[in-house]
Amino acid sequence: MKLLIAGATGNIGSAALHEALDHPDITTVVVLARRELDIKNAKLLTIVKTDFTSYTDEELEKLKGTEAVVW
């Protein structure tokens, strides 16, 4: 399953991120964040955004196939 997490640098978001990365059924975790994360993991794909109101075609392509969202 592909999961999207927004706010992964906050308390709840970072806890959700760690759980998602450890969960065997989650294959990809896409994170929308205002800065790069210090976490390195093969499942993790970070999209650094300062403006969450518009997305490039490349960013939208990375979001395709998302089955669940933690917002």
* Cα–Cα distance measured from residue 1 to residue 54, given in angstroms and rounded to the nearest whole number: 25
pLDDT (mean) for 3-16? 91
Q: Is the pTM of this model over 0.85?
A: yes
Task: Please say whether the beta carbons of 8 and 14 come within 8 A.
Answer: yes
Domain limits of the chain?
2-52
Q: Residue 29 has which token pair?
A: 């975790």
At 71 the pLDDT is 86
pLDDT at 47 over 90: yes
What confidence score (pLDDT) does residue 9 get? 86
Answer for the pair 19, 43: CB distance below 8 angstroms, yes or no.
no
| Closest C-alpha to 32, from 57, 3, 65 | 3
Asked if the model's pLDDT at residue 7 lies above 90, the reply is: no
Q: Does residue 68 have a pLDDT over 90? A: yes
